[in-house]
Structure 1
Amino acid sequence: MKLPALLLLIVITWCHCDTQSDMDSYRRQVKEMFQHAYDNYLLHAFPHDELAPISCVGVDTWGSFSLTLLDALDTLVVMGNQSEFRRAYQLALQQHLSFNIDTNTSVFEANIRVVGGLLSAHLLSARGGIPVPPGWPCEGPLLSMAESLARRLLPAFDTPTGLPYGSVNLRYGVSPGETPLTCTSCCASYIVEFGVLSRLTGDTVFEDVALRAIHALWNRRSTIGLVGNHINVLTGEWKATDFTVGNFVDSYLEYLVKGGILLRRPELLEMFHDLYQQASRYSKLHDWFVSVNMNTGQISSPYYYALDAYWPGLLSMVGELPQAEKSFIKPYSIWRSLGVLPEMFNIADGKPVAKHEAYHLRPELAESTWYLFRATKNPFYLEVGKAMIHSIQNISRVNCGYATVKNSLTHVLADRMESYFLAETTKYLYLLFDPDNFLNQQDAITHKHVEHLHYDARMLRSGCTVGSTGYILTTEAHPIDTGIIHCCGMKNKPTQVNTCNKRPFSSRLQLSLT
């Protein structure tokens, strides 16, 4: 079926699941999906990183972290399972007294999955029924674990540019033969987790290195204001010059918005708006956003990437709702055609790209579905969520969990269940059908909050609050309380890492951040 015909189908499809009983039913289905995957991980795979759901065995993928457990901790709280959260909390403490491990790991993945998961679980511990110490939120065992791991990631940032290496050995630092070639997202997607660490521990080193990396990329934009997708962290030379809002660049753009809101840094939002303006000028093609050369703006490939599906949700955060909804229809039309969203889709011929037909249980389309429903209340997005639940249940469910779809055309499965299925995909679908959830009741992810950050000095001066100013979800969907992170004083500890040169505010943003 060709995409234009599908668009008509999508327009006339309407949701019949907006009654309370239907909402309850789909919420229970998603909770059962999570529980099926989680229980089988603990039974067959723990303490390994991930579950191979077809062979029902555990595998280590990113560093022997018990990754799926740590990534799923806050999902237990979001779904209201306090008793299991308390048990998993204790399992995490028993497994990870130290990250002094002789293993190489991705700096990016360790940060968003493990550091982010630990920080979120730490901040949600009281809600999850954990007795917190008197110094909480400025101290706690999960916070100490997050800080321990983050310190072992810091050697990666010791480069002439301030851009981090892609991998680091947690015991010995950067390996002598480590490649200096790293993706844009891998370089500059640390400001949320590292910023939270600095605000809670009082040590500025984490926020400093994250900001330095952001500015290092910003200062290397092309003459038309775009960035590439891979760079040499030693020389600052771009090695892959395609700009895209998705693959290899996505979380950099995402964290300019979320970091700006969370840490009350309007200059980061200004950076995003500048990049968005240029992306709209050069990358937008009939409401698709495609890859273009960062120097010329010429289209370099007519491909849509599964990771691009986060983009409508991010646009909704900054108030670009008409464009967000138009951009959402594009990936959803692919999903309706194939039952899943392949890693790469050729827009020109309407087919998945050969050797990139897989669906890795990614959350990005569910993520945008939730954001757009929160922003519009249009029941169409509930219908989208229902269709996604049915597809995942019918295609990916196996005896020990949920399996990657190796081929989106044949629906042949592969023996992999990424930890983000429990951290993100099930969480976003659950939230879609749980209007009374605390993340839906107090939600700091709408364009109104972005506007306030730009124009409302009172918000910028607001101090410590707990659970009342809303939440930002990290790129791994770990909820961070936007007020509680400002409850701990910065100690301004001296560090060996140079701080970045902060970009000057424009005159309209000369607001106090204290």
Structure 2
Amino acid sequence: MSFRLPSNVPNFDNAQRRFEDNVWNKFTGKEDGLPMYKDKPAGYGAKRTARRWCGRKRRVGLVALVVLGVLYWIGWRAGGKGEGAESGRGEWNIIPGGLTGKKGKVDWEKRRESVRDAFLLSWKGYEEHGWGYDEYHPIARTGRYMAQPNGMGWIIVDALDTLMLMNLTKELNHARDWVSTTLNYDKNQDVNTFETTIRMLGGLLSAHYLQDALPGMKPVNPTDEDLFLEKATDLADKLMGAFESPSGIPWASVVLSTGEGQASHADGGASSTAEAATLQLEMKYLAFLTGEAHYWEKAEKVMQVLDNNGAKDGLVPIFVYADKGTFRGNEIRLGSRGDSYYEYLIKQYFQTSKQEPVYLDMWNEALAGVKKHLLTYSKNSYFTVLAERPSGLEGAISPKMDHLVCFMPGTIALAVTGGMTLAEARKQPGWTKQNEEDMILARELTKTCMGMYRSTATGLAPEIAHFELADPPKMYHTEVLHSRSEMETDEGAEWKKDFVIKPADAHNLQRPETVESLFYLWRITEDEIYREWGWEMFDAFVKHTMVENGGGFTSVNDVRVVPPPTRDNMESFWLAETLKYFYLLFSPSDLLPLDKIVLNTEAHPFPRFDARKKRFRTGWGRLPRDAKGNIVRQKAEEKTEDKKEEGGGKDGGMKEVVGEKVGEQMTMGDSVPGT
């Protein structure tokens, strides 16, 4: 078999390397900080350090064959002018060994294998040049530990379940051996509570689940069957110290060796609201597996404290003080610092098989608040924009969308059908007109997110997009509009003028949120446009982020120019989320069926379970509200005293239910319980 290297792969010799500063480095001056890429504030990292790397000779041998083999099977054209590449629509013009012909039926199985090969290229580069490191720089082919000794297993643990889903047993065995012999959490290092929970704890728990759920994934040695659960329990016990704050809101970070929680090094010491409220799926599943109630109790207490602040229309400020339990400021957004709070509301409801309707109640309120305050339209083409309120709900709207916001359309679709297909859901007795409207909203927001990709020269989305709005802005709650653009791909297309990309926001960190929503929309609607958009995105990543010399793929600094300058960093979520979602998007729908699992915010799958088997149920009830949604304090205090008496003086116990029932278990289309 012969191979050839496509000519459109950029030359990375002397490429600029830029680093995004992190909170740890900025506020402590230390070099071992934990990068917070998942939930980074929009203005974060404006200051960058530039370096130039020397040219390197191209390696030969096994690594070169892997690279060329991947390119062959992926089938990217050698700088050709085929219809698919130029227009972004239609079928691909594939070299021999490719995936389709112009008129042929799309072979999604081969496209899925292309994603698998891209993962292997990334993994092999890391395995050869960065094994064990928490950070990996694919151009320099070096890495860095975030904690000594031997690091945190950041990239390895985050990718365990992707290895399983892709049936990469050889690579999985290597990773499992490293976890067994090297991974430990006795580090005299403070780590971010949220990032460590969603990536490390989530990765270990999903690996434990999938090794039993998928054929051929169990370890050869039966004594290793509980390896991932044992490591997860050890880590969770160290993370528990973060929850030992006066309010129950977790501290932003925790020293692993001592379990000492620490306030944020930034933001006036306040924790991120999203971070505090994105620990619940992991802790609840661990509680279910072990029968240990304290994991459940600590996680649920956070939700009670946040809700007792009485957020307006279900929309919460993006910072909360761990010592006081009160919000800091009034900034509202579903981008960084706010995003996954909303994601975990509906997912908590589904995780426990709809046994905790309080979270459906909170989700419904929040979605109604989004429609009332945050949804607007671009000026000319009427793209639906999920905007921000930086000065609170009474302040002016900011037409800004982080790429992080693009989780929302998929989450809306999941909330509407519960994971069933749209065709199945429409047959259910609880289906309503509101459900139909919410599905349209999910589609429109997905189109906006895809527009972030199609509006750039590289076909890659920026970290943040701004939008041109009418004056005054057209709002969703006053009129429902639909995009009047087909997102034509010609360079001067008028619709692209609605998207404004500022230089400081033009980088791409390999984020997964848009392909995540494409995956949900494809599974639920069964409309192949979402698969086609996903293939277009995957093609752009391969063309513009793959590096030479077998290093893998890198994040880039400016999606507006070709070739884009590189950042020389591979995010762990490239393996854990982005490539996993591409793989699932092109897979049969019986692989991780959506009505049987929930995916945490790092794309780690957990099973839905019956919490009553362990006698776990919601241990808190919402405080009473008036017709405008404001907490009625006097009645709230009386009910609190009543609850304490019912619970023998213990507020919020989990094994016996304490607190009022906030609503009957609801199906699709049920309204929010009255207050």
Using the size of structure 1 for normalisation, the TM-score is 0.84
Q: Residue type matched to 2:231 in 1?
A: M
Distance 1:233 1:404, change over 3 A: same
| Cα distance in 2 for residues equivalent to 1:325 and 1:168 | 40
Distance 1:499 1:285, change over 3 A: farther
CA RMSD in angstroms comes to 3.1
Q: Is structure 2 residue 149 aligned with structure 1 residue 44? A: no
Q: Residue type matched to 1:54 in 2?
A: I
Residue in 2 aligned with 1:311? Answer: 408
Percent of aligned positions with the same letter in both sequences?
A: 27
Distance 1:233 1:346, change over 3 A: same
Deviation at 1:475, TM superposition (A): 0.7
Say whether the 8 Å CA contact 1:196–1:485 is kept in structure 2. Answer: no
Give the alignment of 1:350-499 within 5 angstroms. 350-399=499-548, 400-410=551-561, 411-435=564-588, 438-439=591-592, 442-444=593-595, 470-483=596-609
Q: Residue type matched to 2:567 in 1?
A: A
Q: Is structure 2 residue 198 aligned with structure 1 residue 112? A: yes
| Cα distance in 2 for residues equivalent to 1:132 and 1:272 | 43
Residue in 1 aligned with 2:189? Answer: 103
Query: Is the partner of 1:54 in helix, strand or coil?
Result: coil
Say whether the 8 Å CA contact 2:88–2:536 is kept in structure 1. Answer: no
| Cα distance in 2 for residues equivalent to 1:510 and 1:323 | 21
Say whether the 8 Å CA contact 2:198–2:602 is kept in structure 1. Answer: yes
Residue in 2 aligned with 1:452? Answer: none
Distance 1:489 1:46, change over 3 A: farther
Q: Residue type matched to 1:405 in 2?
A: V
Deviation at 1:232, TM superposition (A): 1.6
Residue in 2 aligned with 1:282? Answer: 373
Say whether the 8 Å CA contact 1:304–1:345 is kept in structure 2. Answer: yes
Deviation at 1:397, TM superposition (A): 0.5
Query: Is the partner of 1:480 in helix, strand or coil?
Result: strand
Of 256-265 and 385-394, deviating more is 256-265
Structure 1 residues 437-463: Cα deviation after superposition (integer angstroms, max 9, x where no partner) = 521xx332xxxxxxxxxxxxxxxxxxx
Say whether the 8 Å CA contact 2:242–2:259 is kept in structure 1. Answer: yes
Residue in 2 aligned with 1:345? Answer: 465
Q: Residue type matched to 1:284 in 2?
A: L
Give the alignment of 1:37-186 within 5 angstroms. 37-61=122-146, 64-96=151-183, 98-126=184-212, 127=214, 128-131=216-219, 140-174=226-260, 179=265, 180-186=269-275
Query: Is the partner of 1:163 in helix, strand or coil?
Result: coil
Structure 1 residues 61-89: Cα deviation after superposition (integer angstroms, max 9, x where no partner) = 47821211101110011112234323322
Residue in 2 aligned with 1:336? Answer: 454
| Cα distance in 2 for residues equivalent to 1:38 and 1:502 | 48
Deviation at 1:427, TM superposition (A): 0.6
Q: Residue type matched to 2:607 in 1?
A: D
Q: Residue type matched to 1:402 in 2?
A: F
Match of 1:231 among 312, 315, 320: 320
Deviation at 1:22, TM superposition (A): 2.1
Q: Residue type matched to 2:356 in 1?
A: R
Deviation at 1:224, TM superposition (A): 4.2
Q: Which is helix-richer, 1 or 2?
A: 1
| Cα distance in 1 for residues equivalent to 2:387 and 2:272 | 18
Distance 1:510 1:333, change over 3 A: closer
Say whether the 8 Å CA contact 1:62–1:110 is kept in structure 2. Answer: no
Structure 1 residues 129-162: Cα deviation after superposition (integer angstroms, max 9, x where no partner) = 32499999xx812111111111111111111221
Of 226-235 and 390-399, deviating more is 226-235
Residue in 1 aligned with 2:309? Answer: 220
Deviation at 1:381, TM superposition (A): 0.8
Deviation at 1:12, TM superposition (A): 11
Deviation at 1:418, TM superposition (A): 0.7
| Cα distance in 1 for residues equivalent to 2:565 and 2:589 | 37
Deviation at 1:314, TM superposition (A): 0.3
Residue in 2 aligned with 1:244? Answer: 333
Report the number of matched residues.
470
| Cα distance in 2 for residues equivalent to 1:277 and 1:427 | 31
| Cα distance in 1 for residues equivalent to 2:604 and 2:111 | 22
Q: Residue type matched to 2:110 in 1?
A: S
Say whether the 8 Å CA contact 1:163–1:216 is kept in structure 2. Answer: yes
Q: Residue type matched to 1:81 in 2?
A: L
Query: Is the partner of 1:28 in helix, strand or coil?
Result: helix
Deviation at 1:366, TM superposition (A): 0.6
Deviation at 1:321, TM superposition (A): 1.3
| Cα distance in 2 for residues equivalent to 1:489 and 1:262 | 15
Segments of 5+ residues of structure 1 without an aligned counterpart are 1-10, 445-469, 491-495
Say whether the 8 Å CA contact 2:511–2:573 is kept in structure 1. Answer: yes
| Cα distance in 2 for residues equivalent to 1:487 and 1:415 | 48
* Higher Cα radius of gyration: 2
Of 26-35 and 176-185, deviating more is 176-185
Residue in 1 aligned with 2:58? Answer: none
Residue in 1 aligned with 2:288? Answer: 199
Deviation at 1:375, TM superposition (A): 0.8
